Chain A
Amino acid sequence: MGLIKDADLSVLFSRGILIKSERSKTERCIQLGDFVLIEGENADQPFVAQLLDLYEDGAQQKHAVVQWFTHITEIPKNKQKLLKRRISSQEVFFDLVSGYDTDIAVETIIESVLVIPLRLKDELPTRLKKEKIFCVKQSWDGKCFKVLSPHTFSMLNEANKKGDGIPNSSSSFVPLDIISSVKKETKKVAWSAPKTKNAEMEIESKHSASKSSLYKKRHSLRMDNGTKNPTARKKLDLNSMYMSVCVFCPFGCFECTVICIFLKDFCRFFLISLLNMLESKEEEDFLSSSDGSYSSSSEEEDSDVGCTPEKKTKSSRMFSTPKSSRKPSVHTPAKTPRKTPLLGTPRTPRNATPEIPRRSHAAQKPTSVLEEARLRLHVSAVPESLPCREEEFQDIYNFVESKLIDGTGGCMYISGVPGTGKTATVHEVIRCLQRATEDDDLPSFQFIEINGMKLTDPHQAYVQILELLTGQKVTATHAAVLLAKLFCTPGPKRKTTVLVVDELDLLWTRKQNVMYNLFDWPTQKHSKLIILAIANTMDLPERIMMNRVSSRLGLTRMSFQPYTYKQLQQIISSRLNSVEAFEEDAIQLVSRKVAALSGDARRCLDICRRAAEICEFSSQKSTQEIVRMTHITQAIDEMFSSPYIKAIRNASLHEQIFFKAILAEFRRAGVEEATIQQVYHQHISLCRMEGMQSPTVSDILAICARLGACRLLLLESSNKYLHMRVRLNISQDDVMYALKDD
C-alpha cells in the first residue's frame, strides 16, 4: 500500500512516514502536522508532540523535528500550583520551554494521537474522556502558563482537521504484531510520499457498506478457531474485554483506536470495529490480489498464527496478568497506553506504600534547656547550615552547577572516613540546587540517590535507579538494558539526572560491570547524567577498580578530612545555637577528645547528648544545671573505656584463678597457647596454695566455656575435651593489671 522501497529514499524532505510491521504487513501513516506519541523514559508515559518536519542527514539517520507538548506530570509540583485549576490527565500544554531538543530520531515515534485545541473554559466532551486523545488549552514556557495565542490555536486546529479527514484510514490501525514482539527489528520505518487519496476513499466506502453476511460468517468461524485453544478460552470467560484481544491476535492483528472515539456504547464499538477490521482485511486481500505472492504470504501468516497455541497463550497472558507491566513487553510502545484504560488493571500490590502507624499520643515538646539541647544535638536533626564544609560544599556545587548549565554529564568521587559529613554535604548541595531551580536560575534536574548498603546485591542498583527514574519495576538485567538505552541513545526531552551513589565500594562485583556502567554512562554524549560517588577510602579507585573503570571515574575527586577540634567545636556551638546548656570548656574537651580519636562528628554529638543526659540525671529537679567537664568525662569514659578489665575484675573467684593459671602456664611453657589439661594442673596447684577446694574437670570446662562466650578467651571447638587449646583474647599485661588489686 503505497510502500516505497529504500531506493526511493533519496527524497530529502518527506511529508509523512509510514510505520510498517513486517509480520502482519500492516502499515500506518503519519503525516507532517500529525500529533504523535514519542517514546519516553517510561513506557507508560510517552511524550506528546506534533510532527513538524522530517529529514535525513548524511549518515542515513532519519530525523524528525517536533513541537513538544508537556503533560502535567512533567511539570514540577510547585509549578503546578500556578494553574489554580484541576487538570485532567488528558490535558497537555503547548511546550515553549527552550531547553529541550526538538530534533529526535524517527524510531522513537510510537503512534499518532489526537490533540484538540480548546478554549480555557471549554471542557473536553465527555464522550471523548476515555480515549487516547489529548486537549491543549494553555502553553507552558518553564516558568508560567499562558493562554494559547490565536495563531497557535488556529495552527493546531488546522492540523487537526487534516487528521480528522482520515480517521479510519490505515493510519489508525495499530499493527498488533509490534505489540507482541519486543524486538524493534520487526518494526520498520519506511518513508513514503503521502498515500494515494483514492485508496483511502476506497476504504471508507467499504466501511459504510459493511455488514454483509459473508463477513459475519467468516468472523464467527474465526471466533471458533480462536476459542478452540483452552488458554484463550479461559481468558475469554474471565473478562469479555480480553476477548477483543484474544480473538484478534490470531488472525490479522488489527486494532482500531480511532473509531472508538465516535461511539458511545462500548459493545457497539466492539462489534463494529470488529467488522470494520474484517472489512479492511478483506479489502487488503482485494487490493493485493494483483500481487499474488503478497496475499498468499499474508494468508499464510494468518493461518499460521491462528493455529499456533504458544503464540496465542503468550499474547493472552500478556494482557491478563496484572504483572505484565513488569515484563519486557512493556517497552513495546503501542500496547501500553491502550492497555491501562482498557483492562482497568488492578494496581499491583507492590506499589502499595507501607506506613508505620501514627502515634497515639503527641510527642512531648522538650521542657527544659537540656532536653532542647539534646534534641538539637541528635545526629538526625538537620542543621540550618553545615559549618566547616563550606569549601567542599562550594566545590561540589560548582561542579554540579556547571554540568547542569552545560547539559552534559560527569562524575565526581568523594571520599572520607565515616562521620565527616560527606552525605550531609551532598544533600545540602542538592537542596541548594533545587532551590535555585525553583527560582529559575538553573535548568531543572532530577535527583536520585542509591546507597550500596541499602541494596541486597550490587545489580539491584539498576533496578533502583530505573524505579526512581521512571517508576518501572523490572528485573536487574532488564533494568540495565533499559538504563543503557536511556542514557546512551539521543533521548528526546529529558532533564539532567543527578545521581548520588553512597557507599560505592559495596557495588563492587568480580567483573565490576555495575561500576563500569555507572561511570560509563556520564561519558556518553547524550546521557545528561551527573554522578556523585561517595565512599570511605581515598584510594578506592586504585585499590579495587580495574583500570577501565577508574579511568572512566575521572580525576574529579574530593576528600573530606576528619574534623579538627576547632571544627567540631564550631559544629556543636552552631547546633546548640544560643541554647545555654554547655560550658565552653566542656565543648572544647569533647572536640579535642574526639578529634584525637577519630574526627567523627557523629561520635562528638553522641557524647554531648549522653553528657546532657547524665547532667539531667544528676541535677536536682529545682536547680537548672548546665553540662560541665565532669559530665563530659563521665560520658567519654562510658563510651570508650575498655570493658575487659572490668569484666575480669567482676568475674568469680575460680574464673580469676583460671586466668592466673593460664598466665602461669604461659610463663612456664613460653608459648601463648595452652591446653586445658595443662591449665587445669596449674589451677589445682593454685587452689592448693590458697587452701581452697579444687574444682572438678567439668567445672573447669564450664568456666572455660563461660569465659570463651564473653570472648575473654579464645577456644577451640569443645569436643577435644582436655586437649582443647586456650588462648587469651587480651594482652597478658591487662589480665595481670586487672588481677593485681585483689
Chain B
Amino acid sequence: MNKRKLKESSGTDGECISQVQKVLRERLCHHHAMGKLFGMDQQYKHLLELLKQTAVHGESNSALIIGPRGSGKTALLNRALKDLREMKQVKGNLLEVHLNGLLQTNDKVALKEITRQLHLENVVGDKVFGSFAENLVFLLEALRKGDRTSSCPVLFVLDEFDLFVHHKNQTLLYNLFDISQSAQTPVTVIGLTCRQDILELLEKRVKSRFSHRRIYLMNSFAFKQYLRIFKEQLSLPAEFPDKVFAQKWNSNIQLLSEDRTVQDVLQNLFHYSKDLRSLHFLLMLALSNVTVRHPLITASDLQEASKQYRMDSKANIVHGLTVLEICLIIAMKHLNEVYEGEPFNFQMVYNEFQKFIQRKAHCMYNFEKPVVMKAFEHLLQLELVKPIERPSVYPNCPTDVKQWAASSLSWL
C-alpha cells in the first residue's frame, strides 16, 4: 500500500517535472517568440507606434534597432509585430518581408527573396525569373504603382543590417529608403544590427534618405533588476496544471534568489556579461539537472552550471594531456622565458627535455626522439603550439609555379 502510494506520487511528479522542463525550456530557448521584455518599455512603445503609423495611416518610415548581441533586438521586434498583428485595424493589412544579411549575401538574391515573399512571382506565372536588372525594374515598378492610401503597407525587416551595407553601391538600401521617402507604396524599413558605427557605413545619399531614427537597446539594467529577471524566468506560470508543485517550485526560486551563493554566482555572471542570453544558458544548464529524484533547483546546481559555463577552454585541453606532453609544454615555457618570446624549434624543446631527464628526473622514462616528436605534433594539432608564419623562402614565385608545386595534377 505504502509502496504503491509512493509509486503514484513519483509518477505524478515525473509528469510534473517533464511539464516544468517543457515550460521553462521553451521560455529559455525560444527567447524571441513569446518571452517577456525586460527594461525596454520605451523602445517597445516607440517601435510599436512606428509600425502602427505604417499599418494604420500608411506612413512610410525607416528605423534602425541597434544593440549588442543578445540584447533582445529580434525579441523586441517580434513582440511588437505579434502585438501589431493582433490589433483590429491592422489584421491582414501588413505585408512582411524578412531578410537576413547572412542569407541574402547580395542584392540579386535579396531581390529574389523579396519578390518571393511578396508573392509577386505569381504575376509572372511559372516563369523562371530573368536577370538581376529585370528583377530590380520589376520590383521597383511594383512598389511605384502603389500609393499611400490604397496600397497595402510593406514592412521590410533587414536582420544583420550591417552586411547589406557591403552590397555593391548599396543599391538595395538606396531603393528601399528612397521608396520610404517618396509617395509610393508605404513601406517601413527596420534594420537590426549590433554595430554602433552603422551610420558611418551608409553612403551619403543613402544616409540622407534614412530617417535617422535609431532605437538603442543597451542592457541598461542594474543587478537588482537582473535578479528579478532571474526570478521571473524560472518561476512557473499561474496556469501550470499542478498547482501544489508550482507553488513549491516558485517558493524555492524565491529562496534561491535570496541565497548568498546564488547571488554571488549571478553577480559574477552579471559582471562578466549583461546579456540575457548568457543567463538563459546558465539556467538551462541548471535546469537539466532537475529530475524526479532531484525535483528542485538548488544553489549548488547553479554553482556547478556556472563553473561549467565559464570554463577556460585551453586549460581544459591541458587537463587531458599525457605526462610527456606536459613536460614538453613546460620545456617550451622555460624556453619562452629564456628567449623572451622568441620562436623555438623542436630540437630546442627536445634538448631542454633531455637536460631535465638527465639531471633531475629519476622516475621519468627517457623516450626516444620519434616518440617525443609524435607528442610535439599532437600539441601542434591541439593548437597549444602554433607554427609561426614566416615569409616564403622564395618570395617572387610565379603563381602557376606555386600551383604546380602544390599539386602534381594541377596541369590537368
Contact = CB atoms under 8 A, between A and B. Distances in A.
Interface string B130-147: 101110111111110110
Interface in A693-710: 693, 695-699, 702-703, 706, 709-710
B308 interface: no
Contacts of B140: 454
B310 A699 contact: yes
A721 B388 CA distance: 13
B313 A698 contact: yes
A120 interface: no
Interface stretch (B119-127, B233-241, B320-328): B119-127
A709 B67 CA distance: 10
Interface stretch (A28-36, A73-81, A87-95, A651-659): A651-659
A647 B196 contact: yes
B175 A711 contact: no
Contact of A710 (B68, B95, B120): B68
Interface residues of B, number: 86
A663 interface: no
Interface string A602-631: 110010011001000100000000000000
A672 interface: no
Interface stretch (A48-56, A222-230, A351-359): A351-359
Nearest to B209: A602
Contacts of B146: 355-356
A43 interface: no
A353 B272 contact: no
Given A349-B124, A382-B183, A697-B314, A456 B133 contact: yes
A359 B93 contact: yes
A547 to B, nearest CB: 26
A638 B64 CA distance: 12
A350 B130 contact: yes
B124 A374 contact: no
A305 interface: no
Contact of B152 (A357, A371, A644): A357
A364 B56 contact: yes
Contact of B68 (A419, A460, A696, A706): A706
A706 B67 CA distance: 11
Interface stretch (B210-218, B354-362, B371-379, B400-408): B210-218
B271 interface: yes
A481 B298 CA distance: 80
A655 B278 CA distance: 15
A603 B212 contact: yes
A536 interface: yes
B272 A699 contact: yes
Interface string B306-350: 000011111100000000000000000000000000000000000
Given A419-B208, A464-B137, A364 B57 contact: yes
B287 interface: no
B59 A375 contact: yes
Interface centre among A354, A371, A640 (most CB of B within 10 A): A354
Contact of A638 (B185, B214, B315): B214
9 contacts: A352-B125, A353-B145, A363-B150, A455-B133, A602-B209, A652-B219, A698-B312, A703-B272, A710-B68
Interface of B: 45, 49, 56-60, 66, 68-69, 89-93, 95, 107, 118, 120, 123-125, 127, 130, 132-134, 136-143, 145-146, 148-154, 169, 171, 174-175, 178, 180-185, 194-197, 204-205, 207-209, 211-214, 216, 218-220, 268, 270-274, 310-315, 383, 386
Interface of A: 349-350, 352-364, 366, 371, 374-375, 378-382, 417-419, 453-457, 460, 463-464, 503, 506, 536, 600, 602-603, 606, 609-610, 613, 617, 638-640, 643-644, 646-647, 650-655, 692-693, 695-699, 702-703, 706, 709-712, 721, 729
